[in-house]
Amino acid sequence: MDTQHTNVRPSAQSRNDGKNHPSRRTGTTAASCGGGVTHDNARHTTRFTVIGNHLAQHAELSLLAIGLAVHIQSLPSGASVGIRSLAARFPEGTTRIAAALRELETHGYLRRTRERTQDGRMVTRTVSCNQPGRTGATQEPKPPRPARREDKPPPRRALPAVPQPAYPAPDLLQTALGVLSGLRRTDPRLLISATDAEHLVPGVAAWLERDLTPEAVHSALTTDLPPEPLHRPAALLAHRLSAQLPPLPLFRGAPATRHPLQNCDTCDRAYRAPEPGTCGACRS
């Protein structure tokens, strides 16, 4: 890898310290007998890879496995290290390379897992470990996963309940919708959605049933609003419609039920009654 390691010593001591290694003799050394290797070391400043002696002098790995591990550790992240790719690079062939990769897996220098990509293909993910049993501070980035259902935004909170009119006549509900639509002309923060308006219309109709004019309901819903931004204007309106609901008008000392307007079937005059029919004068 093109990584500079200016603080790396020219040579490092083996973990084995020369003990129980097949290439070392006990008693007299090879150098004292006139043979053995000597080192002519020059300090690397670019294009070098740090390899531990636990790998370079491994007592159980084959020479092919050691060389293959060194090659893999020198590659940049994302490089192909499949059996066919390595066989195209080296003369050993797929059978010997596959056996060497299994050796490295057995001793912890490689981890290979099968994973499914977003398009449904199965691929082999390989992780090279320069010190088996230890995890570095940085890890290989995980492949992106498809978005999960739980990543969807949470559902909207339900609005507070609003009063219901005794007789939800169509003209009464239409008047109530007009009141809600006009609120944003007084305060732009009171712009609400069609879904919220559908929830609030019965509450406004319940106010209109109590002999309040549309202008009076409009004023009650837009007066003394908080100065800060309204994050849920529909919830504020629902709270006001419920908490500030006026009492029913009195008729002969008792609360009167305000019936919807009806047109008399006989004289076509307007009168209030729960159901269509004839007015009191025509019935008498």
Tell me, what CATH number does 5's domain have? 1.10.10
Element (H, E) at 255: strand 254-255
pLDDT at 157 (0 to 100)? 83
pLDDT at 136 (0 to 100)? 58
**Tokens 């209030």 correspond to what residue?**
272
- For residues 179 and 127, membership in a common domain is answered with no
Are 238 and 203 spatial neighbours (Cβ–Cβ below 8 Å)?
Answer: yes
- For residues 122 and 67, membership in a common domain is answered with yes
- For residues 1 and 51, membership in a common domain is answered with yes
User: Phi/psi at 271 (nearest 5 deg)?
Assistant: -150, 165
| Residue 15 forms part of a structural domain | yes
| Residue 262 forms part of a structural domain | yes
> Would you call 124 helix, strand, or coil by DSSP?
strand
- For residues 186 and 117, membership in a common domain is answered with no
User: What is residue 149's DSSP assignment?
Assistant: G
Domains: count for the chain: 2
pLDDT at 280 (0 to 100)? 80
pLDDT at 10 (0 to 100)? 46
User: What is residue 246's DSSP assignment?
Assistant: P
Burial grade of 55 (CB within 10 A; 0-12, 13-18, 19 or more): buried
Longest dimension (CA), the chain: 140
The boundaries of the domain holding residue 201 are: 170-223+233-283
Instruction: Give rounded-to-5 percent helix, strand, coil for the chain.
Output: 35, 10, 55
- For residues 75 and 188, membership in a common domain is answered with no
CA distances in angstroms from 223 to 113, 176, 215, 217, 227, listed in the order given: 66, 18, 12, 10, 11
- For residues 1 and 119, membership in a common domain is answered with yes
- For residues 93 and 194, membership in a common domain is answered with no
Q: In 10 A of CB 82, how many CB atoms? A: 15
Tens-of-pLDDT digits for all 284 residues of the chain?
A: 454 444 444 444 444 444 444 444 444 555 555 678 898 989 988 898 899 999 999 999 999 999 999 999 999 988 989 899 999 999 999 999 999 999 999 999 998 888 888 887 888 888 899 898 776 544 445 555 565 555 566 677 889 999 998 888 888 899 999 999 999 999 999 999 999 999 999 999 999 988 889 999 999 999 999 988 888 999 999 999 999 999 887 665 555 566 676 778 888 777 777 778 888 888 87
- For residues 104 and 218, membership in a common domain is answered with no
- For residues 70 and 10, membership in a common domain is answered with yes
pLDDT at 1 (0 to 100)? 45
- For residues 191 and 124, membership in a common domain is answered with no
| Residue 145 forms part of a structural domain | no
| Residue 126 forms part of a structural domain | yes
pLDDT at 163 (0 to 100)? 94
- For residues 2 and 121, membership in a common domain is answered with yes
| Residue 109 forms part of a structural domain | yes
